[in-house]
Structures are given as structure tokens and as C-alpha cells.
Chain A
Amino acid sequence: MRRATEDESILPLIHYTDPRLPGGSAQRLQSLSQWTVTSAIKDSILINFGQHGLATCLHSLQVKYVNPITHLCVVRCSRDEYQRVWCAISFITTIENVQVIFNLLDLSGNVRPCREAAAKYDELKLKLLVQRSGIQLPVEQVERARLHLKKIEMIDA
């Protein structure tokens, strides 16, 4: 885990997995988007920390990147609230009625290290996904994931 540096934003990098791997849920998870993740995080903050908690987080909270194939997300929030946001994210159990677990991979205090880490982990995750025996990943999906990978370069503060 990286320690925060001088920058104002902290971008926890969140890996998102589904325990019931094969079958219907995997299909439905393809619809995972920045919007669904954002709304899930906001709901969780509202439930756990109330209106005030949500209001103080809201100005900085942003889901920067979501890869619908590898389920890797990048979330930005201000340094004062990052523990709360992280906690709220840990308390999320479902997104659109699909059961999920969030698992933090990296925490950085700046955009650049975050971008590097995201690119590295997403690459690795895609490799894992392709390697994983039992699930046949169609070629077009791999291509789609790679397209998303390129978007990591575009992440900025």
C-alpha cells in the first residue's frame, strides 16, 4: 500500500470480484459501468455515514475508471475522507442485485503512481482471466478489455 504524498487526491484502486464466477451473474456483470459503481458507493456512504458524510465526500468523489471485463475500478476522493469512503466501499455487498466483494489493491496519493499501478494490475488481471481454466473468454471481450486498458492513460486529477 502506498502512502499518501503531497497531492490532494487519493485514488484507491479497487478490484471487484464476484464470488459466483461462472454462469448468469458473470453475464450480467458485463453491464458494470462507472455510473453503477458511483451510485453504489454513494448509497453506501449515505447508509453508513449519513447526509453529512455524503455531503463532505461528494465534492471529491469520482469513479475514474471501470473495466467491465476485469472489474477493476479506480476511485478518487479527498484525503480527509478517504478512510470513510474506503470503509463505505467495503460495506457494499450488492451492485444491481449482483453480489460483489470489493478488495483494495493499491492506494496512492498522486495520479501518476495510480495510473502506473492501475495499468499494471489491469494487465495482470486480464492475463489471469484469460488463463483461468474453465471459463472461455471470447476474443472480442479481450479486445474490449484492452480498449478499456488504454483509457487508463487518460486518467487525470
Chain B
Amino acid sequence: MFYDLNIVYDGVKEHSRREMLAMAMQMGYSGIASNHVVVGLMADSDRCRICPLPVSAIISASPGVAEAAKFHREVLGVPVGQPFRQYSRLTIVIEDQVQAAALNAANPVLRTYDLVAVQPTNQKMLGQACNHLEVDLITLNFTEKPSFRLKLPMIKAAIERGIYFEISYGAALMDIKARRELFTNIKILIGWTRGRNIVVSSRAKRALELRGPNDVANLASMFGLTREHAKAAVSKNCKSALLHGVARKRAHKAAIIVDRLPPNSDHKPLFNVPKVWDPLSSGVGDCLLFEDSKHLEQNLLFGDKSGTDSRSITENQQATDMETSNDENGLLFAPLRKPGITVNDVETPKAEQIEKKRKVARNKPIAVRMSPRTIGRKRARQ
């Protein structure tokens, strides 16, 4: 399974975005993350607005993409039946303490994204990012001369906290100067990390700036990584970063996830761990491409004018979406790290009442909970 965790989203036209996704799909990637960049202070308007593209849109961008993707996946040894996933990602460029303060676990804006990355621009912020900030990735702009020095203690701290460093190659493909800077600066990072906790991504603005997973791994080994580390940088490490994101986004205290059960599931016994539980699923962004692609393609070719056909596509699409994302009828508690105990809500009249109450409660505005620190401060004032 290969991932590309940085596809530019801002200022990219819809058509070229489709092309990029189609290209990534063709090259055999299992997932991509669309990146929204915020410079400076984060506002409430920066909530995740990245909507995953449906399969039909991707196929319309380049016909035959499904077969090509199948071919490349077979070449790469990635299971063909796996859905192609689209994640959302936020990158915050921080300069000072005030901007950094927005990056805490309680911030609701961060929770709307699958991945959160931080791009520090100076030494102090880099130290802060490595030691304290609640993020999944630290991305450093290596294509320019860096205004900070990487130091061993902070990099060690970041690795211990399970944060990954990101290297982007997209700009280097097009610009020779950027390429030189990239190779120079990466040497230092790789020297300190010894090849661990590194993620290589594209930061592609166009489909042309993407490369196949094997080629990226080779590029990474030219940076000085060993072969295993190079391959991990496009596959395993990306997956871990995504899981870190899942723990931050959906889990309570990074330990327990509360998920809704599908509506028409039968009464399952209590204390049962679901067999098919995929933490990496981004829910709506999954494209189950190889099942309905042919049908879709035919519709695109012949049946566009008749309204019924296109409607049936969207309905199918929605149906598959519903299957992947879960519905509103039951609650399922699945522990993230060690699957041990699950509790199912049994659908009894009582349970329904509780559910109604919960729905009402859900519609109410959520009270802002105080973190232990603020409580402590209040007490001190009193």
C-alpha cells in the first residue's frame, strides 16, 4: 500500500485536481491527502472544506483509469480490491507563539482534518513543534535555504512522540535550483533521524509532478536512506502517520473510538470486536473503483443525456458511500490500540429512547470543556 500525503488543494482548478487524482490512482497509490495550507493564524473558517471526488469525476478526467490502475497495482503487488482513499490535510505555517497556540488537542478545527501538519519557519517554532504541538507531520521547506538548524535533541523528541518528518519532491522535479537545495538540506535531516520517521510526498500542483511509488522510493534512497527505509517512507510511515491522525481526530484520549454501527446489522452479541474494522478508512472518500467502474464508464459514454442513468449512478455511489461510512442507529465502541472489548447497543425500545435523547443532545451546541490547566488557573485566582 502506497500513499502520497500531499496533493495541493488551494488554487488548483477542479479539472487539474481530477487529473492529479486520476494519475495517482493509475500509478497504483492506495490513498492521497489533499492539502490545505494556512499561513499564520488559524480561523474558524479554515474548517475542512475539502470534499473527496467521486469515482465518476475521476474517470471522466481520464478514461480507462480503472484498468490502468488495476494493471499498476498488480505490478506493485497491491491488492486490487482495495479502495482508493482520499484524505484531507491541513498544513499550518507558524512563525510565533500565538500562532502555535492554536495547535492544541482541544481545537475543533483540527479535528475536521484527517492529517495535521505544521511548517515551522524559525528555530524556536521548530523546537516547539518537535516537543509540544499536537500534530501528525512536521513539514520543512527544503527547497529554500532553511532559516533554522536541525538539532538532535528535538528530532529525537519528535520521533519519540511518533511524529513524522515530511520531504516533498514535487518542486524539485521542475526546478534545478530547488533540486540542489533539497538534496543538500535533506542530508542533515537524514543524518539525525538515521532514516526513521520520514515520509516522502509529492506536493504536486499538476499531474506531471507525480511519480510512481517505486520511483519515489528510489529517489528517497538517493537522498541517503537505506532501501527499507526508502520504501517505508512511501508506504509504512504514511500509514502510521494516518493512524496517528485517526487517533488525534476520532479517538477519545487517543485510545478509544466511538463509531456508529450500520443500520440494518443484526443483533450482534455483546463484547464482540468487529472483524472488518479498518481504521484507515476515511469514510466518504473511499472509491471502490473496481466494482462499479465499468458500469460508470459505460454510463459516462452512452447514458449521459438520459437523466435516469446518471441518477442511478449517484444513487449507487451514495449506496456504496453509506456502506463505507456508518449510519446513525447504533453505537460501537472499538478500542484503537488493542482491540479487546466492544459494547454494542442492543436495539430495544429503551435503547431507541436513549438514542432519541442522544440525537437531541447532539443538536444542542456543545459546551466547551475546560482543560485541566484552565481549571487550575481559575482555582488559583479564587
Contacts and interface: CB of A to CB of B under 8 A. Distances in A.
Interface string B197-239: 0000000000110111011001101100000000000000000
A106 B215 CA distance: 11
A103 B208 CA distance: 12
B19 interface: yes
Judged by DSSP, the binding face of A is mixed
Interface string B280-297: 000000000000000001
A134 B63 contact: yes
Contacts, number: 70
Contacts of B23: 19, 101
Q: Which 7 A-B pairs have the closest CB atoms?
A: A132-B64, A134-B63, A103-B212, A90-B215, A19-B207, A104-B214, A87-B222
A31 interface: no
Judged by DSSP, the binding face of B is helix
Given A19-B19, A19-B207, A93-B208, A102 B63 contact: no
Nearest to B65: A132
Contact of B219 (A87, A99, A132, A133): A87
A93 B175 CA distance: 11
Interface stretch (A32-40, A55-63, A120-128, A145-153): A120-128
How large, as a class, is the contact surface on chain A? 20 to 34
Contact of B208 (A19, A48, A121): A19
Contacts of A91: 173, 179
Interface in A126-142: 128, 131-135
B218 A131 contact: no
A28 to B, nearest CB: 16
B173 A128 contact: no
Interface string B7-28: 0000000000001000100110
B168 to A, nearest CB: 15
Given A93-B173, A93-B174, A132 B211 contact: no
B220 to A, nearest CB: 10
B176 A47 contact: yes
Contacts of A131: 64, 67
Central interface residue in A47, A87, A99, by most chain B CB within 10 Å:
A87
A21 interface: yes
Given A86-B215, A90-B219, A101-B211, A133 B297 contact: yes
A43 B297 CA distance: 40
A1 interface: yes
